[in-house]
Amino acid sequence: MADVPNIALRVSQLDAAELDSEIVSLTKAQLTRLFKYQQNNFLATLAPEIDAGIKLLLWKFSIRAAESTFGQAMLNLKYHNEHAQASTNQWISSRQQVLYACLLIGCPWLKDRSHDLIKLLRLDSWKDRIDRMVSWLETGFRVATLVNFLTFLRNGAYQSVLERLLGVRSVFPEKQGMRQVTFEYMTRELLWHGFSELLFFVLPLINFQRIKNYVMRKLLSVPRSKASHNAQRDLTSCAVCENWPIRAQEIGCQHVFCYFCLQSNFKADPGFSCPLCGYGVGDISDIRTVQVSQIQGDEEDEVG
């Protein structure tokens, strides 16, 4: 067995695996966004093939081309062949690369398409046995993954079962310098952490809606006068959201409000006033539902 050049840190290997998983998720998200306006649901129908195609494409331009995944390349890691002789290439071999693709891409695809393959090969009589076998294999793989992870935490080698089966492990291809964290950096991190904790505690205690309404009242400086009953009323627009009022309500002025706009503002700010004319809500009893008969009467006045 060849000597390992520079053993990779456990945190670096875990970060690389997490980055690889995020790259696959981001690629799938971009593909979904590209076809989100398609009427047919072919993405769901071909989901196993799409997942396999994305992984195959990433494998082609990462492990096949650079002998490391994209996550490993970001952290300056590389796959080392544990079975290589000292006189041969010590990095992951072509055979291991192909096996890596078969296990990483082929096995999940076979699992997802197992029922379709059973129908295609006319193995309906073996369906229950095949399902039990797949279930046992999946359970065994999960147990092996747990055991392998505990072993990895102890000795730092073979972050996944796949790496252990193939005999490859993540290493630093070049000697890494000592990581030094200065006290200035630690002090800055502690300061920002304490500041963020303070914000998370203080912000929920601040009534921003009440502050906003107070500022708007001071800026608008609209006289708080009750409108005349003969004034023309706009019953098609909420004074807060400017949309068609839902369950229209009024407070005594010529404007109407959505039920939720008025109630949420009044509960957040008891001194809430109409943002258009400045007429305030004295008490909750001043909030009334706009009656249909009143709307019809206003419309007749407008026609007349």
Ordered DSSP codes for 76-110: T-EEEETT--TTS--BPPHHHHHHHHIIIIIHHHH
137 shares a domain with 30: yes
For residue 93, the enclosing domain spans: 10-171
Q: Among 146, 171, 196, identify where a domain stops.
A: 171
pLDDT of residue 285: 74
Same domain, 157 and 281: no
State the Rg of the chain over Cα: 33
Of 230, 222, 200, the closest CA to residue 275 belongs to 222
Final residue of a structural domain among 120, 153, 171: 171
Residues 161 and 230 both lie in one domain: no
* 2 within some domain: no
Q: Per the structure, how many domains does the chain have? A: 2
Place of tokens 């609209």: 222
Do 153 and 260 lie in one domain? The reply is no
Q: At what angle do helices 208-220 and 259-268 cross, to 10 degrees?
A: 100
> Does 217 lie in the same domain as 284?
yes
Q: Is residue 226 part of a domain?
A: yes
What is residue 56's predicted lDDT score, i.e. its pLDDT?
A: 92
Return per-residue pLDDT of the chain as tens, 304 residues: 445 567 888 888 999 999 999 999 999 988 888 887 776 677 778 888 889 999 999 999 999 988 899 999 888 889 988 887 766 678 888 899 999 999 999 888 888 888 888 888 888 888 888 888 888 998 999 999 999 999 998 888 899 999 999 989 888 887 766 666 567 777 888 888 888 888 888 877 777 777 777 776 666 655 544 444 445 566 778 888 878 888 888 887 778 888 888 888 888 777 777 777 777 777 777 788 877 555 445 554 544 4
Report the number of secondary-structure helices (H) and strands (E) in the chain: 14, 6
Q: Flag whether 142 is in a domain.
A: yes
The CA distance from 159 to 18, in Å, is: 12
What single-letter amino acid sits at 213?
N
Instruction: Verify that 52 and 100 share a domain, yes or no.
Output: yes
The answer as to whether 217 is a domain residue is: yes
Q: What is the DSSP string of 122-174?
A: T-GGGHHHHHHHHHHHHHHHHHHHHHHHHHHHHH---SSHHHHHHTEEEE-SS
Domain assignment present for residue 185? The answer is: no
One domain, residues 238 and 164? no
- Same structural domain for residues 19 and 157? yes
Quick check: is 186 in a domain? no
298: CATH:
3.30.40.10
> Does 199 map to a domain?
no
What's the predicted TM-score (pTM) here?
A: 0.55
Residue 45 placed within a domain:
yes
